[in-house]
Chains A and B, each alone.
Chain A
């Protein structure tokens, strides 16, 4: 029995995982990171446009602060988010940018004086402040009232991941590459680590840890058309689900990004529209202003993607041999801007489409992009169901995005959650309750079960092929669980996925060697992916309202009365073909920002009776404290600071809020 002991086991080597590892290691806890791929190749690298932090250095960001970022994020979430967690996030995000600046991220900087920008299709000259010169710059993104997205050209995720990856090496944290956690070791109330498969040799090892932290990213690959990397298969969420105890939150909340290049689904950043790019239809006309007069191309992603599909349905698509699409026009930004601030976009267009986006329009159509749901945790990042199990980043649902995430808030979340959850992991490991006594029989059994599953697959004479099942799952999800959802489509998806799950128990392989066997990997993963896909599809079927990215054509209104709640999925019986759902209500009476209209999208929600009561209370407090300090006012509305680790509680300095 091969066993590795450590204090902290981090599953996933992207930004969230590495940042948690650094936090734990700096507090003196031995930490190992497991990664499917070299850590710097993680999907975090693909974040292009930037991370939101209310620094307010650029002139169009003046007046920005945590309060504005908070409200934008909650509106973006369509009131599905945990507002205290959003507060924790917006207060820490500026600190994350500043930490990364010190770690070497070459953030694009403000240059004082006049510059020409494109706003709403028009050239405008704006003047940057002298006192902002050399500070981190911000660009515009969707669903925000201020220019808030800090960026490194359009290679933000890459630059961040390399800086954090380098800090991981500097802190002497081992990253065990090409190792995959395939099951958590637990006794139903406490998590003790994971069974880990070596993707090169096939060997199984038990990694035992006081704290196990999952940061495996999203589940985009359960869809056929996705911007996600091929490793984003939702396996971390499945590991938690398969414990039968841990829960997944809001899995039906799936984001579709407006500008996946067509047909490959590769992302081009929201920064294209933030910097002034326009969406055009088959006739070459700009169409977003007619649907969204307030925010136009820069409404939130769920709204823009829906409007695009609506416009295609109305017969305005451009047509190619691959099907219907729309155009993203960034030619008006000019070559110099594109080659300086949108260079990855230019490369992608050049290599995958054979076009120069400074001269030609980019064919785009919405593509699956982000998993708002994930492993349900407390604001500390710990699972309420399994002691010692933590999660952060896209794999987690602590829940700052609710039913729709704003652009620039995910790569920000990775490092912010890494900082915060990392501290709580360290606190946990410092405490006596993290010590455990573990019978070796339990470890042996966990290893034995997984060895059995691998051997079962390797020796199986089953007639099903893993890749076929995966392809059918992906097609079902893209066809039936997409942007526009209906009860009958979702029912078909759920039926089809259940059938595939049953069939996946009869997978046979053509190649029977352990070790670097991609067919074996595909086989054990697809069984996990199907469970995640079922949580999404069945969750969407059950939720008979429309909220954020979850849009039901047969229930087009957001229904706060019946559905202002978080979906929690568990998979108690391994033989089951469906998850069990529970719903956790969100308490309006403690909200800082009671539900209302988002400022874009449809105006047709059904109110909860508490909303009016709370709204009155909130405006009474706001009025009473109108002349006071904004932090005091915030604290009177919804205290949250006590939830943050002490080191991240402080205020953030700005040009208009200079600290002594």
Chain B
């Protein structure tokens, strides 16, 4: 490759100069004086600016009390899901250049509000995991760790990983019609977990066992097939296919 065609990414290309208006829904439910309200912050757009950079800049320069959650800031950990101009997404990897000048930010619905843009997804996910016993359930015997691991078909390992990529960010729950109306619904995140465990030969449970967990209105039969989950999943998990497949399997069990 010659020096003329050295490729240059957009890290170099974003145009600065816009003045952005962030309309942030603010509320601290533990403060009796707090009333939910929208506060507007203005900020000069910078090249390569993400919502992670913008929100931190607002907090550092304008309002040090603004609450939000970031951890990895690389789209990997799922901490920073919020509603961005009406659509759930990961704030850390959302570039402001892809948004209009007016940017509305609000916390994910369906989860307990901590403050401002921070919600308690952790509590929700743990409770979901406990209800579904969402771990690989093997026979209770002490493993001999000195021995070869159990073999697995390479394609099957890849298929399991495909579903294992879920980061429990909560976007699918926030975008789910059923979850918004019905707080016991397991959401696509829960159904995807079951689909993942069903695929895994290390999990000893049968479809009858899984039916006990998700063969009801809190589970796979509660889905109204609106599939907002599939549209917003930041990891592009095949939620539509998985839910449809799981529902067919579970219906079969249900009808005996």
Given the known interface contacts A109-B157, A344-B76, A518-B64, the answer about A177 and B3 at a Cβ–Cβ threshold of 8 Å is: no
Number of interchain pairs (Cβ within 8 Å): 244
Task: Give the interface centre of A152, A200, A283, A519 by most chain B CB atoms within 10 Å.
Answer: A200
Q: Which residues of B contact A344 (CB under 8 A)?
A: 76
Q: Does B134 have its Cβ within 8 Å of any Cβ on chain A?
A: yes
Q: Write the chain A residue with the least CB distance to B143.
A: A102
Q: Write the chain B residue with the least CB distance to A362.
A: B9
A652 touches B146 (CB 8 A): yes
From 1 to 36 in chain B, residues with beta carbon under 8 angstroms from any chain A beta carbon are: 1-3, 6-13, 28, 30-31
The size bracket of the interface on A is 35 or more
From 40 to 59 in chain B, residues with beta carbon under 8 angstroms from any chain A beta carbon are: 47-48, 50, 59
B11 touches A363 (CB 8 A): yes
Segment touching B, from A118-126, A258-266, A383-391, A537-545:
A258-266
Chain A to chain B: the 9 pairs with minimum beta-carbon distance, closest first: A38-B122, A134-B151, A354-B10, A104-B136, A166-B135, A95-B145, A519-B64, A360-B7, A355-B9
**What is the CB-to-nearest-CB distance from B121 to chain A, in angstroms, rounded to a whole number?**
6
State the CA gap A361–B7 with chains docked (Å). Answer: 6
CB-CB contacts of B67-82 with A at 8 A, as 1s and 0s? Answer: 1011111111111000
8 Å CB contact of B72 from A229, A359, A651: A229
A41 touches B77 (CB 8 A): yes
Given the known interface contacts A38-B122, A321-B47, A518-B66, the answer about A98 and B77 at a Cβ–Cβ threshold of 8 Å is: no
Q: Which residues of B contact A201 (CB under 8 A)?
A: 30
From 106 to 135 in chain B, residues with beta carbon under 8 angstroms from any chain A beta carbon are: 114-115, 118, 120-123, 125-126, 129-130, 133-135
Q: Which residues of A contact B118 (CB under 8 A)?
A: 516
Q: Does A638 have its Cβ within 8 Å of any Cβ on chain B?
A: no
A101 touches B76 (CB 8 A): no
A170 touches B65 (CB 8 A): no
State the CA gap A510–B60 with chains docked (Å). Answer: 11
Q: Which residues of A contact B120 (CB under 8 A)?
A: 177-178
Q: Which residues of B contact A177 (CB under 8 A)?
A: 120, 122-123
Q: Does A158 have its Cβ within 8 Å of any Cβ on chain B?
A: yes
State the CA gap A201–B146 with chains docked (Å). Answer: 47
A354 touches B11 (CB 8 A): yes
**Could you give 5 example pairs across A and B, Cβ below 8 Å?**
A351-B95, A352-B93, A354-B10, A510-B64, A653-B148
State the CA gap A104–B65 with chains docked (Å). Answer: 41
From 227 to 256 in chain A, residues with beta carbon under 8 angstroms from any chain B beta carbon are: 229-231
Q: Which residues of A contact B6 (CB under 8 A)?
A: 282-284, 318, 327, 361
B161 touches A152 (CB 8 A): yes
Question: Could you list 17 further interchain pairs (A-B, Cβ under 8 angstroms) beyond the known A41-B77, A159-B164, A321-B12?
Answer: A41-B71, A43-B77, A97-B149, A98-B145, A104-B202, A108-B158, A155-B164, A169-B130, A230-B70, A264-B48, A266-B74, A282-B6, A283-B3, A320-B12, A349-B9, A351-B95, A467-B60
Q: Does B102 have its Cβ within 8 Å of any Cβ on chain A?
A: no
Q: Interface majority SS on B: helix, strand, loop or mixed?
A: loop
> Which residues of B come within 8 Å of A, CB atoms?
1-3, 6-13, 28, 30-31, 47-48, 50, 59-60, 64-67, 69-79, 93, 95, 114-115, 118, 120-123, 125-126, 129-130, 133-136, 138, 143, 145-154, 157-158, 160-161, 164-165, 167-168, 200, 202-203
Q: Does A591 have its Cβ within 8 Å of any Cβ on chain B?
A: no
Q: Does A29 have its Cβ within 8 Å of any Cβ on chain B?
A: no
Task: Give the interface centre of B130, B151, B157 by most chain A CB atoms within 10 Å.
Answer: B157
A284 touches B77 (CB 8 A): no
A155 touches B165 (CB 8 A): yes
A170 touches B135 (CB 8 A): yes
**What is the CB-to-nearest-CB distance from A154 to chain B, in angstroms, rounded to a whole number?**
10
State the CA gap A196–B31 with chains docked (Å). Answer: 21
B9 touches A166 (CB 8 A): no
CB-CB contacts of A146-169 with B at 8 A, as 1s and 0s? Answer: 000000110100110011001101
B160 touches A40 (CB 8 A): no
8 Å CB contact of A515 from B28, B50, B72, B143: B28
